Amino acid sequence: MGLANRSLVTIDDLSNAEIEALFSLADKMAVSLEKQFNLCQGKIMASLFFEPSTRTRLSFETAMHRLGGRVISAVNVGETSLAKGESVADMARVVGSYADIIVIRHPWEGAAKVVADYAGVPVINAGDGGHEHPTQTLCDLYTIKKEKKTIRGLRIALWGDLKYGRTVHSLAYALARFGATIHFRAASGLEMPDYVKRKLTTEYKGRLEEYETLDDVVKERPFPLDAIYLTPSSPHQLANIPSVSLQIELAKGVDALYVTRLQQERLNAEAEEKEMKNDYPVVDKKLLKKKEFRETVVLHPLPRVDELAYELDVDPRSMYFKQAELGVPIRMALIALLLGAKEIATPRKEESFTQPKEYALYQRETGVRCTNRQCVSAQKTEKGYIKPQFKIVSCRPLTLRCIYCDHEIFPPCIASSHWHEGRLVSKRYHSADSHMVRKIRPEHLMIFASAKDAEAHGFKPSSYAQPN
């Protein structure tokens, strides 16, 4: 199966086998960069970076130039028609008529999906708000695999801002898929979002142990933990989380330490930023002297601020500048594949720790909307094109996942559009936590943000509705 004419919006757009094949192509390109110049001659890449970027933007543009293609760019929203109120969807249609491939970074979560839906050419997500950054994850996995020869069975710690750090969201999904054990070391108040943790536990085959269930000794060794994701490839006795077994596992050390900076641009207020900075964990020579870090490689997507000491730059375990360097062959391989200049062969069967799930879609125009203010679907300019859409990921409790930003909502009221003979007496709404949520077929399900909303649509409370 080829990747030609496909888009990369989330890391789940690529299978494990496709990622491995992409790495093999990147290996070949890396040893002969000058021989790749004819691959994309005549092709144009639109580089749309509406948030600051150095490594990602320049590595993409370098990659396209090394492939023989050309680049057109826009790096400031204020200098585009978006500043005049143009929708992202309209922009995508226009830019898609100018270029053969689009790379976009945007502060709105889900913006890359909208561009991919409307551009008509392959689109690569270079970071959409605090949502995902799939090409950074490709660089991260590629670096780890080069140093450790495998991902499966590794113990990898995610460190710092896990709430707003889009790189760790994509990376956590990929590590789970490849069978790694993940240690979460979040700064206070910046823990991994619930929707990411829920996806790890429902769509992958491992198990997440939260802070409250961890033994005090486990929490502090080799550094304070707030959660651990255990891969199915862990020893069977560890899956049951006996405290002693877990301590033995942690004593083996950490194979990779992935450090992230505080995402200051996504904090709500200056006071919040100051509070977060004061309590932010630092990786330095003192930490890495612990025996658990003897064979640990240190990664960072960069830029760094104060969370990673400069004294570590000369430490052979530090891989962050190598990560940045490897971004060029990785992105060269990806561009060539999406443009059809190269093809890869992938096995029909592959080992994966993913549990494929097909969710019913909820896409009625009335009812609920995504509550994430940074979601592209919440923006006024996009309402002409974008209708709220959600995956129904659970009925216990009723949980909807926005198809654009992945944030979850838990609506209170439901009803069925299939009432007998259209009689008003049969138009009843119910509490979403009642058994009725499992009796109504997805295509008939109506969801409301409140009882008042349900009544405004002509529904009356049933005996399964909670009183106002």
pLDDT band at 264 (very low <50, low <70, confident <90, very high): confident
| Domains (range + CATH), the chain | 11-129+326-338 (3.40.50.1370), 135-323 (3.40.50.1370), 360-461 (2.30.30.20)
Q: Give the span between the Cα atoms of 449 and 296, in whole angstroms.
A: 48
pLDDT surpassing 50 at residue 236: no
Our CA angle for 300, 305, 306, nearest 5°, is 100
pLDDT band at 53 (very low <50, low <70, confident <90, very high): confident
In the chain the first and final C-alpha atoms are separated, in Å, by 54
- The per-residue pLDDT for range 17-36, each reduced to its tens digit, is 999 999 999 999 999 988 99
Q: Do 118 and 91 meet the contact criterion of CB atoms below 8 Å apart?
A: no
Question: What pLDDT score does 442 carry?
Answer: 86
Question: What pLDDT score does 340 carry?
Answer: 95
Question: What pLDDT score does 237 carry?
Answer: 45
Mean per-residue pLDDT, 318-341: 95
pLDDT band at 228 (very low <50, low <70, confident <90, very high): confident
Q: Which residue type does 298 have?
A: V
Whether pTM > 0.75 for this model: the answer is yes
Phi, psi of 321 (to 5 degrees): -75, -30
Classify residue 93 as exposed, middle or buried by CB count within 10 Å of its CB (0-12, 13-18, 19+).
Answer: middle
**Under DSSP, is residue 346 helix (H, G, I), strand (E, B) or coil?**
coil
pLDDT surpassing 50 at residue 448: yes
Q: Which residue has the tokens 């592959």?
A: 350
- The per-residue pLDDT for range 178-224, each reduced to its tens digit, is 999 999 988 888 999 999 999 998 888 788 877 766 666 666 666 77
Mean per-residue pLDDT, 66-70: 97
Q: Give the span between the Cα atoms of 19 and 9, in whole angstroms.
A: 14
pLDDT surpassing 80 at residue 283: yes
Classify residue 205 as exposed, middle or buried by CB count within 10 Å of its CB (0-12, 13-18, 19+).
Answer: middle
Q: Among the listed ranges 99-108, 297-306, 339-348, 422-431, which one has the minimum average pLDDT value? A: 422-431
Question: What pLDDT score does 193 carry?
Answer: 92
CA distances, 78 to each of 56, 75, 203 (Å) = 21, 9, 40
10 Å Cβ neighbour count for 454?
Answer: 25
| Complete DSSP assignment for 165-194 | -HHHHHHHHHHHHTT-EEEEEEPTT-PPPH
